[in-house]
Amino acid sequence: MTLPFTIESQTGPARLARISTAHGPVETPSFMPVGTAGTVKAVPQGILEDLGAQIILGNTYHLYLRPGHELVRNLGGLHKFMSWDRALLTDSGGFQVFSLSELRKVKEEGVSFRSHLDGTSHLFTPERSMEIQIALGADIVMAFDECTEHPAERERARASMEMTLRWAKRSKDYFEAHKHEVPWNSVPALSAENAEGMGHPTAYPTAPALFGIIQGGMYPDLRRESAERTVELDFPGYAIGGLSVGESRAMYPDLRRESAERTVELDFPGYAIGGLSVGESRAKTMEMIAVVLEILPKDKPRYVMGVGYPEEIVQYAAMGVDMMDCVLPTRAARHGLLFTSEGRINIKNARYAQDQGPADPKCACRVCARYTRAYLRHLFVSAEPLAGVLNTVHNLAYYLDTMRSVRHAITLGDLSGMLSGSVSLT
């Protein structure tokens, strides 16, 4: 069984489903916390479990550079290395090397780039990406794609899409020949607890699954064509890529400031400001997702990469998206931005100095149960490491609870409450 995907309930296009991995079940729609370097930044694994995270992401680019995929494989794979026995998904490294901008060069063979850590030269090809992801031992592996920049001229978007399709084929060929080399394949990976949560304890996969990625820029016909031709290659799941590019940071001055600061840290010879046509961009994103969802098979998981704000992920889930991931809740937390049922708050604001309420009065997470906004503000303005821990735990709780509410609403057959409560997207 490649990747059992059981739809349990549907409301309109939205679906409540269950993905069965060798490392336990993933209930969808699911938001996947990002654990770039084998750690969801600042959060101990036990707390992630308590929060109910069933799957987290690892980044191929980062783990390849440090500590190195060979080392991780030698130590039994990423699950064992980071002591996480639930599901793991790794990206292909395509988006990260794309983000390196001036440091990378794209050819038919693959992408050559220089490490942001030490400037050494490296080459990622579809085959190499598969080899690394198999060594890491993810449950879900992503095809190596070219993440098309935005904006892109039509011909550029088409060429990029064609490249991604050729790379998808090469990814699949290599993956199918080597997928049983994951470090966990030789041992019984599924714990009793996970098997129980699976519903069908015997029907779990013994190898990882490879997802194809749809590109095509902001051109509906290219997206449609990319979807059709990727589906022809026949993957057990599909992702929609290239939608988080230069977009989601656009609406928020503080995130834009952060984006600038962090980009400058990477030290480029020049800088560009992207994604400024915002309202248009968010609407375009939804349009691209809608176009692609029409074509993707309904019996397989559909994953939108790198999104988004809480109101966005609710909207996309309502449209029939099953999986999403984003650095937003974790990265924003480290900058003092908290997502709450009353909107986003910047905890360093002086107005919270004597605020004895929790971060979010409607949140039941361990942070909101115990600590006040006044204390969280004090930790943040004092640059205390506990600030990052507590803020991240709350933001992840907010995202995971949001998805839990979405799943509950699907069971009840009514998502309107969730959607009306969200901020308008246009």
> How far is Cα 341 from Cα 332, in angstroms, rounded to an integer?
16
DSSP conformation class of 302: E
Nearest distance from residue 178's CB to a copy of itself, in Å? 23
The phi, psi pair for 210, rounded to 5°, reads -105, 125
CB-wise, 135 or 209, nearer to a copy of itself? 135
CB-wise, 38 or 241, nearer to a copy of itself? 38
Q: How far are the Cα atoms of 79, 242, 277, 294, 363 from residue 248, in angstroms, in the given order?
A: 30, 12, 11, 24, 25
> How far is Cα 25 from Cα 70, in angstroms, rounded to an integer?
27
> How far is Cα 420 from Cα 426, in angstroms, rounded to an integer?
13
Output the six-digit token pair for 419.
């959607």
CB-wise, 197 or 388, nearer to a copy of itself? 388
Nearest distance from residue 354's CB to a copy of itself, in Å? 6
DSSP conformation class of 66: T
Place of tokens 């990477």: 266
> How far is Cα 102 from Cα 99, in angstroms, rounded to an integer?
9
Q: How far are the Cα atoms of 34, 232, 252, 389 from residue 255, in angstroms, in the given order?
A: 18, 39, 5, 19
Residues recognised as catalytic: 91, 325
Q: Which residues bind a copy of itself (CB under 8 A)?
A: 37-39, 41-46, 66-67, 71, 74-75, 81-83, 334, 353-354, 356, 366, 370-372, 374-375, 378-379, 381-382, 384-386, 388-390
CB-wise, 142 or 368, nearer to a copy of itself? 368
Q: How far are the Cα atoms of 115, 250, 267, 310 from residue 270, in angstroms, in the given order?
A: 18, 19, 8, 32
Nearest distance from residue 32's CB to a copy of itself, in Å? 18
Nearest distance from residue 167's CB to a copy of itself, in Å? 28
Output the six-digit token pair for 171.
């990814």
Cis amide bond preceding 208, omega within 30: no
β-bridge pairing 5-11 and 14-21: antiparallel
Nearest distance from residue 370's CB to a copy of itself, in Å? 5
Place of tokens 């905890």: 347
Nearest distance from residue 391's CB to a copy of itself, in Å? 11
Nearest distance from residue 333's CB to a copy of itself, in Å? 11
> How far is Cα 320 from Cα 317, in angstroms, rounded to an integer?
5
> How far is Cα 211 from Cα 341, in angstroms, rounded to an integer?
33
The H-or-E segment that residue 248 falls in is: none
* Sign of the torsion angle spanned by Cα atoms 74, 78, 82, 87: negative
β-bridge pairing 323-325 and 30-32: parallel
| Nearest Cα to Cα of residue 125 among 160, 90, 174 | 174
Nearest distance from residue 375's CB to a copy of itself, in Å? 6
For the chain, how long is the longest CA-to-CA vector? 61
CB-wise, 26 or 47, nearer to a copy of itself? 47
CB-wise, 75 or 177, nearer to a copy of itself? 75
